[in-house]
Every structure is written in structure tokens, then in C-alpha cells.
Amino acid sequence: MRHRSLTPAAIETLFERLAALDPEPRTELLHASDFQLLVAVVLSAQ
């Protein structure tokens, strides 16, 4: 089965729909800075 790539327009539509459903998405990882979030993601992937 071949997978089709999404066009840039389809990707934009997808993100618009996601933003309409949840305009302020939050993460389960608590962080005070972008660097802390990066470290938390790296450590959680181990």
C-alpha cells in the first residue's frame, strides 16, 4: 500500500482544524522554560 504525502494546503487545513478544536493545547510535561521542556522530552524518550 502506497502512502500519499500531504500537500502544504492539506497540512495547513489540518492545523487550522486542530487549533479550532483546542486553541491552547497544553503538555503533560511541566516546565518553566523551553530548555527544560527539551530536556524532559529527551529524558522521557530513553
The residue type of 6 is L
As a whole number of angstroms, the distance between CA 11 and CA 17 comes to: 10
Helix H, strand E, coil C: the string for the chain is: CCCCCCCHHHHHHHHHHHHHHCCCCCCCCCCCCHHHHHHHHHHHCC
- Where are the domains positioned within the chain? 8-44
The predicted-structure confidence for 1-46, as pLDDT tens digits, reads as follows 678 899 999 999 999 999 999 999 887 888 899 999 999 889 988 8
pTM of the complete model: 0.54
- Grid cell locating 37: 521542556
